[in-house]
């Protein structure tokens, strides 16, 4: 099976200071490489500040790598023209950590879901928008609402619906549940697993939570200080980590979470009185 995404020796260096202070160079990424097969899933794991989100931004084209290659569907994105790059970006979508900051507060949910179609010049209708909400567990009445009128879990569902609008092949989820209450996290994790299967998505899941990655992903790569220090089958790393930083991440997982996610079963959701319908 072919790789849908491949990173080859990606480095990213930032220069700070200047004028009144001396310039300093900060290496955010130090030659990282990994790949994701079509329909596969990779958990990019590590503590805050290790470079996980920087890698995601480079894949999405929000940052430019200092050196190295990002290859999507066999094509190096640095060699593509503007139109080709825009077409390719439609196949790679993201769900960010804080859905409230990633949704425009001035736009209704309808306008939010319409935006990807308008930017890429793709025809859509009302039924398409309603289906996107339905897939993510929301009723059509939410189309007329604004982000501030929704709960955190509902905003997360809208963010996922927007990411699915163009039927991407690769979904990048950057800490998508870290800002949510524990009672809602399980719902969103189960939803991600469901839409991955239904849309036959490849998934890059960025997190510091080893248990969640074990639940969602087939492979894992552990980052520390801008480098990948260990990688392999997530179940193997979960059971027998070799690197000290991998062991630290695993030690942070509560015993109950280990038992649940190791079985790869849907995460148990806490019942609440709130209804999404």
- In the chain, how many H helices and how many E strands? 11, 10
Q: What is the DSSP letter of 276?
A: -
Pick from 191, 237, 197, 229: which is nearest to 213 by CA? 237
What is the CATH T-level fold of the domain 3-91+166-262, as seen in this structure?
Rossmann fold (3.40.50)
Pick from 173, 165, 61: which is nearest to 115 by CA? 165
Q: With a cut of 50, say whether residue 277 has pLDDT above it.
A: no
pLDDT given at position 262: 57
C-alpha 52/C-alpha 36 separation (Å) is: 15
Angle (nearest 5°) at CA 134 between 104 and 182: 70
Pick from 58, 47, 49: which is nearest to 10 by CA? 58
**Phi and psi for 269 in degrees, rounded to 5?**
-95, 140
pLDDT given at position 56: 95
Q: With a cut of 70, say whether residue 264 has pLDDT above it.
A: no
Q: For residue 34, what are the β-bridge partners?
A: 7
C-alpha 28/C-alpha 117 separation (Å) is: 34
**DSSP labels for 18-69?**
ETTEEEEEEEEEEEEEEEEETT-EEEEE--TTSSHHHHHHHHHTSS--SEEE
Residue 28 burial (CB count, 10 A): 20
If pLDDT is split at 50, 70 and 90, which confidence band does 274 have?
very low
Cα-based torsion angle of the residue sequence 25, 27, 30, 33 in order, rounded to the nearest 10 degrees: -120
C-alpha 225/C-alpha 239 separation (Å) is: 23
Q: With a cut of 70, say whether residue 45 has pLDDT above it.
A: yes
Which tens digit of pLDDT belongs to each residue from 50-106?
999 999 999 998 999 999 999 999 999 989 888 888 888 889 999 988 888 889 999
pLDDT given at position 41: 96
Q: Is 39 left (phi over 0), alpha (psi -120 to 50) or beta?
A: left
pLDDT given at position 269: 54
Which tens digit of pLDDT belongs to each residue from 13-41?
998 876 677 788 899 999 999 999 999 99
C-alpha 44/C-alpha 144 separation (Å) is: 36
- Expressed in angstroms, the distance from the first to the final Cα of the chain is 39
If pLDDT is split at 50, 70 and 90, which confidence band does 276 have?
very low
Residue 19 burial (CB count, 10 A): 6
C-alpha 100/C-alpha 115 separation (Å) is: 17
Q: For residue 41, what are the β-bridge partners?
A: 203
pLDDT given at position 275: 40
pTM for the full predicted model: 0.89
Q: What is the mean pLDDT of the chain?
A: 89
Q: Are 39 and 236 in contact (CB under 8 A)?
A: no
Residue ranges covered by each domain of the chain = 3-91+166-262
**Phi and psi for 109 in degrees, rounded to 5?**
-65, -35
pLDDT given at position 272: 43
């Amino acid at each position: 099976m072919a790789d849908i995404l491949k990173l080859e020796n990606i480095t990213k260096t930032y220069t700070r200071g200047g004028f009144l202070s001396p310039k300093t160079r900060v290496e955010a990424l130090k030659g990282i490489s990994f790949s994701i097969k079509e329909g596969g899933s990779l958990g990019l794991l590590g503590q805050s500040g290790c470079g996980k989100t920087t890698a995601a931004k480079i894949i999405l084209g929000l940052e430019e790598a200092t050196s190295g290659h990002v290859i999507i569907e066999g094509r190096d994105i640095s060699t593509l023209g503007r139109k080709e790059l825009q077409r390719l970006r439609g196949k790679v979508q993201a769900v960010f950590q804080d859905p409230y900051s990633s949704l425009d507060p001035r736009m209704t949910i309808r306008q939010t879901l319409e935006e990807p179609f308008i930017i890429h010049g793709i025809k859509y209708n009302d039924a398409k928008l309603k289906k996107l909400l339905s897939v993510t567990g929301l009723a059509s009445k939410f189309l007329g609402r604004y982000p501030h009128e929704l709960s955190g879990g509902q905003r997360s569902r809208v963010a996922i619906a927007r990411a699915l609008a163009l039927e991407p092949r690769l979904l990048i989820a950057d800490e998508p549940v870290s800002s949510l209450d524990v009672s809602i996290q399980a719902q969103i994790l189960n939803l991600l697993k469901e839409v991955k299967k239904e849309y036959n998505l490849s998934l890059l899941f960025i997190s510091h939570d080893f248990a969640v990655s074990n639940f969602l992903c087939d492979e894992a790569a552990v980052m520390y200080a801008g480098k990948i220090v260990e990688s392999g089958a997530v179940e193997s790393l979960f059971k027998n980590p070799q690197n000290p930083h991998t062991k630290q991440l695993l030690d942070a997982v509560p015993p109950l979470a280990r038992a649940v996610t190791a079985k790869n079963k849907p995460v148990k959701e806490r019942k609440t009185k709130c209804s999404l319908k």
